[in-house]
Amino acid sequence: MSLQLRNSDAAEDAVQETLLAALAAEASYEGPRQPAHLAYRHPQHKIVDAIRRTSRESPLEGAAEESAAELDGLFDERGHWNEHPSPWEDPDGALHQKQFLAALEACLRGLPARTSQVFLMREHLGLETPEICKELGLTPTHCWVLLYRARMALRECLTRTWFAAR
């Protein structure tokens, strides 16, 4: 949770709220047990609640997004790569390695906060674009731009720190 929230205190609060909500739901639930719902959906909702609360309390500055502008140097005026990234050797095999996940987490931490939030809400939490836009107060176009920037930055970071090092 700390990766999504970018704040260990907020992550600890979200974990505590999740446990309390799961215990309350477990005590009052009388249908067939669904531990996957308690183990996955409760944390997902608490993360979104925490992101929503953080966005209201301290909105991210537009300057954080400007650091993503350096990615523009990777492309020419037509949107093509200035220098094509090298092909990845075995991305499916790399996904199963702890070191890869550590490298991915480090690359995610290098993204601007809002870009990382949008990417994790979409790819990790599985939220759809309209839901992300509603939670963060974004237009769909801005959301798609942030997702694009996140994917491009992660590709470059992983190429540099993981695949090139192999």
**More confident site: 62 or 56:** 56
pLDDT of residue 55: 65
| Domain covering 61-166, topology | Arc Repressor Mutant, subunit A (1.10.10)
Residue 37 neighbours by CB distance under 10 Å: 12
pLDDT digits (tens, 9 = 90+) for 1-60: 555 666 677 777 777 777 677 666 666 655 555 555 555 566 666 677 777 666 666 555
Q: Tell me which of 30-39, 91-100, 108-117 is least confident.
A: 30-39
pLDDT digits (tens, 9 = 90+) for 117-154: 999 999 988 899 999 999 999 999 999 999 999 999 99
Binning pLDDT at 50, 70 and 90, where does residue 64 land? very low
- Give percent of the chain above pLDDT 90: 30
pLDDT of residue 13: 75
Q: In sequence order, which residues have a C-beta less than 8 Å from that of residue 17 and are 6 or more positions away?
A: 46, 49
Ranges of each domain in the chain: 1-59, 61-166
Q: Tell me which of 78-82, 101-105, 135-139, 143-147 is least confident.
A: 78-82
Q: In sequence order, which residues have a C-beta less than 8 Å from that of residue 118 and are 6 or more positions away?
A: 132, 136, 138, 143, 146, 147, 150
pLDDT of residue 3: 59
- Report the candidate in 17, 137, 59 with the shortest Cα–Cα distance to residue 9: 17
What CA–CA distance (Å, rounded) separates 117 from 120?
5
Binning pLDDT at 50, 70 and 90, where does residue 100 land? confident
pLDDT of residue 49: 73
Residues shown for the chain: 166
Structure tokens at 137: 């107060």
DSSP letter, residue 34:
-
In this prediction the pTM is 0.53
